[in-house]
Amino acid sequence: MKRRLLFVLVLLMLIAATVVASLGSRRGEVSLASLRQLWSDTIRDIDQPGLRLTRLSAAEEMQLGANVLNSVSWPEDPVAAARVERIAQPMLPHVHRTDIQYHFHVVQAGMINAFALPGGQVLVTDGMLAFVQSDDELAEVVGHEMSHVDLRHCVEHYQYQYRLGSLVELFHRLAAMPYSSDQELDADAEGMRLAIAGGYNPAAGPVLFERMQKEMHESAGSPATTPAGELAHSLGEALASYFRSHPPSAERARRLRGLARSAHGAGG
């Protein structure tokens, strides 16, 4: 009798879940992103002991960053760099790694981009400066790049090369590919945290990425509607995401929107 009751109870739960999910869910895309995420988590955890053992000091990292920066000659815009530095100033007190000295550069390149080098070297292109429509949006960009430094993402790409040689670094980069996108999402979140701490509007982040999605013509693609299509799409997407360094702008906007909402809730 008790077993029968349990059966009915579990069955009703399953049916209720099915009904509620059918009524309340938007038609989401089917993918193997969850498995990719689990795999990425695992690789990332496994990677940590090696990274801890080969970690660079702050001084070594800053020297490395300066060397990398000097190895390439970029035409810079000191006036624009001053604006970037002004934007970054309110966020600097809130970084974790206070022993890193940040330097901000604006390089003249048509593309919309920004990137960071180890040791606090943050570079923003003039194309990005032209693309952002407010200081809040620029703060999101700069905060994102600072976060890469603060979370050691930048230096982790050079650690093995610095300590063990280029060949080891090559293998490490291949192994670390799955969580490259996760590092971007982490930097997005950390950058938003810095922006909020610096007094900027967190809502600018998702707006920026939504606009970037349109600018870069990133199409979401139509979802697969057949079983074989679902499987092929899922496998293809999982394979593509394995080698993708940045997640799609739509996903970044979605996650940032969620973070902004929770940050607003926590603040309010």
Q: Which residues bind other proteins (CB under 8 A)?
A: 3, 6-7, 10-11, 13-22, 24-35, 37-38, 41, 44-45, 48, 147, 151, 182, 185-187, 189-190, 193, 223, 225-227, 230, 234, 254-255, 259, 262-263, 266
**Residue 122 or residue 263: which is nearer to other proteins going by CB?**
263
**Residue 124 or residue 192: which is nearer to other proteins going by CB?**
192
CB of 225 to other proteins, least distance (A): 4
**Residue 31 or residue 125: which is nearer to other proteins going by CB?**
31
What letter does residue 145 receive in the DSSP assignment? H
Look at the block and give the residue holding tokens 């090696």: 50
CB of 111 to other proteins, least distance (A): 26
CB of 171 to other proteins, least distance (A): 19
**Residue 135 or residue 230: which is nearer to other proteins going by CB?**
230
**Residue 186 or residue 210: which is nearer to other proteins going by CB?**
186
CB of 267 to other proteins, least distance (A): 9
Where would I find the beta strands (DSSP E) of the chain?
103-107, 114-117, 121-125
CB of 94 to other proteins, least distance (A): 10
- For every residue of 13-77, DSSP letters joined together read HHHHHHHHHHHH---PPP-SHHHHHHHHHHHHHHHHHHHHHTPPPHHHHHHHHHHHHHHS---B-
**Residue 80 or residue 194: which is nearer to other proteins going by CB?**
194
Taking the CA of residue 146 as centre, how many other CA atoms within 13 Å lie in the half-sphere pointing to its CB? 33
CB of 200 to other proteins, least distance (A): 15
User: What does the alpha-carbon distance between residue 225 and residue 45 come to, in Å, rounded to a whole number?
Assistant: 35
Tokens of 150: 């603060």
User: What does the alpha-carbon distance between residue 103 and residue 98 come to, in Å, rounded to a whole number?
Assistant: 13
3-state secondary structure of 122: strand
Tokens of 163: 């300590």
User: What does the alpha-carbon distance between residue 43 and residue 192 come to, in Å, rounded to a whole number?
Assistant: 26
Q: Give me the amino acid identity at 182.
A: D
